[in-house]
Chain A
Amino acid sequence: MYSDDILPQFQNLRYLSIGDDIASESLPSHLRRLPLLTSLRLGPSAHYNLIASDFFTLLQGPTRHPSLSHLIFECFGGQSGSRVDVGANVEEDIEEGMLSDGWVRPLYAENFDDEDVAELARICATSGIRLEGDATSLSKFEEDYELEEANRSVLRCLQLKSLDEISWSDGSPYFDHIPIDHLDPQNLNLVKIDLPEKNWFRLSLK
């Protein structure tokens, strides 16, 4: 049960904010019937029923909404946490450990994934629509999440003298920056590369 079909009765809406379980996939057609709407906020998980290609028709082309000029897209809910220290003991379940330390992976939807987010940013830029929210920082957040995951995986490999944490089941490397060919699990050495622009570091093995 969704509530968005009742929205057209609010004919003079300028600002609309909706959260999870409010919007159906028909949201774009309901919003078209709000001619004065200038600012739309989609809160955590509000994108879950949306179909990206349908939503984009609101933002560009002949079916573009006549007045929508500000989009706050805060659906994905990623969260940065604390970074692991080089000497830290890393637990078996790396993702669980990251969650305990405050890292939360963004939540994509079946019909609104990371590629759609990139497309959303491109369309808004082209259409002159001001885009705010986590949709604007998702790629940087994904980069940071992966860096933290890789650093923990490297430390876990050192602890266990194993390459399991940085390899797929077919033996290919899990992380692009950590080639596993020629690595000897019994003779692993830590490589630390400082990343001053992030005030952080990247760990690898040799």
Chain B
Amino acid sequence: MPQDVIRPFPRLESIKLGHVTRCASMESNSDLTHISYEHVFVKVIEFGPVTRSHLRSLEISFRDPFGDTPGPDPVPRMERLDKLTLIYCRPQYAAEGWNDSIADHVLDFCPNITALKLSDSVCPYFRPFLANVSHIASQITSLELESPAPSSTLRCTPTISFPNSKTFDT
């Protein structure tokens, strides 16, 4: 379980998880302010309430902008989240772009972000997404629209595995 892995690091402030499905077991790490993870979809996974309340920065890497899986209902809000990063690890053949449904998925849970970063190495046409976040545009003070070289985004495969874990995909 992730908790077993991070227990020796009680002061951990930042963690990069690899491919995950849920993270509620990170509850006792109250110092965590940044979490990075990968998921097939643009999915807000379930953190414990303590983690949620401390988290300032969240990075989600995804491969499919349309799909969805059952998740926490209602989606827990992270009122103190300041920075959201979305990285589309698009297969070369994928035609799906940055549609407004991505914005619908994620922006409800982080109403107070001031920094937004979008990344796509294949087709960085972010306009449809950005047009759909006009209601929070005035609170954004930092915007990063990136298109890194493809070789640097070959990362949407599990980077950390947790054998015997019920909370991580491997």
Contact residues of A with B, CB < 8 Å?
1-3, 5-7, 9-22, 36, 41, 43-44
Contacts and interface: CB of A to CB of B under 8 A. Distances in A.
A12 B131 contact: no
Given A1-B125, A6-B130, A9-B134, A19 B142 contact: no
Question: Top 7 closest A-B pairs, CB basis?
Answer: A19-B147, A17-B144, A19-B146, A15-B142, A3-B127, A9-B137, A20-B147
Given A3-B127, A6-B131, A18 B141 contact: no
A100 to B, nearest CB: 16
Interface in B43-65: none
Interface residues on B, range: 20 to 34
Given A3-B145, A16-B143, A44-B149, A11 B127 contact: no
Contacts of B126: 3, 6, 22
Contacts of B127: 1-3, 5-6
Contacts of B76: none
Contacts of A17: 143-146
Contact of B143 (A10, A20, A43): A10
B148 interface: yes
B141 A21 contact: no
Interface in B82-136: 123-127, 130-131, 134
Given A17-B146, A21-B147, A12 B130 contact: no
B89 to A, nearest CB: 15
Contacts of B141: 12-15, 36
Contacts of B164: none
A13 B145 contact: no
A22 B145 contact: yes
Contact of A10 (B125, B137, B147, B149): B137
